Structure 1
Amino acid sequence: MKGTHPNIIKDILSAQLAKPGGKLSAAICFLLNIFVAAAMLVSVFQGDTRHVLACLKVLILLMIPWLVEWKLKIELSTVFITGVQVFMYAAIILGELDSYYLKYPFWDNMLHTISGFLCAYVGFMLVKLIFGQKIDSKAYINPIYIAVFAFCLSMTISVMWEFYEFGMDSLCNRDMQKDTIIHTIKSVKLNQEEHSLTVLKDVTNVTIDGTNYNLGGYLDIGLYDTMGDLFFNLVGTFVFCTIGYFDIKKD
């Protein structure tokens, strides 16, 4: 019967395989699903409910780009779809479950740079969706406006994500804003009588409630992580928007 789930799945797969690079994209998605399913199976045997739920979430997220494309009747780049799927796997499975954020300091920065690319692409596609083929004509819309819109959208998404991280840390006792060890403190609070700036250099440890933690420096609990995330998202967004601008202008 028309509209049944098997037919929907068949239509989605057929549409993906028919696109340039669709077979490779589908193969990568299939492998990612196998990896996530294997991780979920291990978590089940270990009795780790949180990891099992995280794996289920990833399995759903891997299908979202295909469902969005099918539901909205738009065509997304296979590179974008694969990028989103790999990003989800790298951020949640490798980053959170396998602790890549702690093992590899560059992991978080790399993902935020990639997210800048992906979110900027969404901005370009939204303009395409709203204006249709008119996007290709300078008589209707200037490429610089498209690039600026995509840039602002990507940065707004990045800021909202940082709000989400702060909210989870504040309300749910999480540590999404990873701590940073710093060695210099600049504060007027430490010199209130003169209301001047106090600079402490070569800070090597921190004491909390009488307990001395030999961390090698002062423990910053989120500011540096947040600003670093925004910066790397800015880099990815700017690079993609620049490329997108010249690409549209050329065409």
Structure 2
Amino acid sequence: MLTKLKGLGIAQWIAIFIFVSMGISMIFITVEIFLAPVEQTPGQPKVTLRSDYIFLLFECVLGVIILLLPTILSHRFKFEIPGLVYILFLIFLYASIYLGTVQKFYSTVPHWDKILHTFSGAMLGAIGFSFVNLLNNDKHVVMKMKPGFISVFAFCFAVTLGAFWEIYEYTFDGLMGLNMQRYNLSNGTPLAGRAALADTMGDIIVDVVGSLVFVLIGYWALKKGRPWMINFEFKKKQPKEGGAK
């Protein structure tokens, strides 16, 4: 057991740390679900309601599932995740779900939401780049895609997932009375017109900027054959010698 632990890399230790953080948070949140009030008392200071804790629990469970997803997919489809991409993914997961939602960084740290959207745009652009490059390097794929096509796909991939995230926020704002899209002020006053759209459009814009910056760098690197792009490449797992075919 100790030998296995010593063999873990930095990415695995980060993943374990996030898993433990989420697990401890889920225990405390579950307790708070039974203790928290169901409704806000009129005229009293705003408190965290039971529905808020239910959403926090949902976010933590979702975070654990997303945490395990890369490992499951890599085993299922026989590919290796680049260490740098995996570490960036783990940092984003921890910063968005644990720090952002559980520790309330979204409401207490200025521009935390926009920073993460910019970061996620670049990260998703890198993942989109890597997946297409994986196909490009596959000997079973006859057609070889040019850097321009790979770049356009990576950009569209990142922006599309950013749009799906906004749909997720809109859906749960409606179902659970949340304010993830910032259509209300902190005191509950509803915004109107362009002001109500500012947060959502700002998120989409920084998603586009983050992904575009990485895609342009990636396009230039592919055209020039820069070796550092190898750090972002997914690779097919090679069968072990003497293993079953």
TM-score of the two chains, using structure 1 as the length reference? 0.68
Distance in 1 (alpha carbons) for counterparts of 2:175 and 2:55: 18
1:149 aligns with 2:153: yes
Which residues in structure 2 correspond to 1:33-72 (within 5 Å)? 33-47=19-33, 48-72=53-77
1:147 CA drift (Å): 0.8
Q: Tell me the equivalent position of 1:228.
A: 202
Measure, in 2, the Cα distance between the counterparts of 1:37 and 1:97.
12
Residue pair 2:118, 2:210 contacting (<8 A) in 1 also: yes
Q: Which residue of 1 aligns with 2:243?
A: none
Cα 1:162–1:66, aligned 2, differ >3 Å: closer, same or farther?
same
Structure 1 distance, partners of 2:196, 2:180, is: 9
Gaps of 5+ in 1: 1-12, 182-205
Whose relative contact order is higher, 1 or 2, with alpha carbons under 8 Å and at least 6 apart?
2
Tell me which amino acid in the other structure corresponds to 2:181.
Q
Alignment of 1:195-210 (within 5 A): none
1:125-136 aligned within 5 A: 125-133=130-138
Offset at residue 220 of structure 1 (A): 6.3
1:218 Cα deviation (Å)? 7.3
CA contact (8 A) 1:113 1:235 kept: yes
Secondary structure in structure 1 of the residue aligned to 2:130:
helix
Identity %: 30
Alignment-derived partner of residue 124 in structure 1: 129
Letter in 1 for 2:69: I
| 1:248 alignment partner, one of 206, 222, 225 | 222
Deviations 1:83-142 (A, max 9, x none): 2222222212221222111101211001101110121122112212333347xxxx9332
Which has the larger Rg?
Answer: 1
TM-score, with structure 2 as normaliser: 0.69
Of the three residues 176, 179, 184, the one matched with 1:175 is: 179
| TM superposition shift of 1:180 | 6.9
- Between the aligned partners of 2:75 and 2:26, the Cα distance in structure 1 is 27
Displacement after TM superposition at 1:241 (Å): 0.5
In structure 1, the residue matched to 2:100 is 95
1:139-171, CA deviations, whole angstroms, 9 ceiling, x for partnerless residues? 933212211111112112222322332233345
1:25 shift after superposition: 0.7
The 1:246–1:61 alpha-carbon spacing in structure 2 relative to 1, beyond 3 Å, is: same
What are the within-5 Å matches in structure 2 for residues 108-119 of structure 1?
Answer: 108-119=113-124
Q: What's the CA shift for 1:172?
A: 4.6
Provide Cα deviations, 1:13-60, integer angstroms capped at 9, x if missing partner: 99xx6xxxx711111111111222222222233345443343232222
User: Which residue does 1:192 correspond to in 2?
Assistant: none
Report which of the two has the higher share of strand: 1
SS of equivalent to 1:179 = coil
Change (3 A) 1:40 1:163: closer
Partner of 1:23: 9
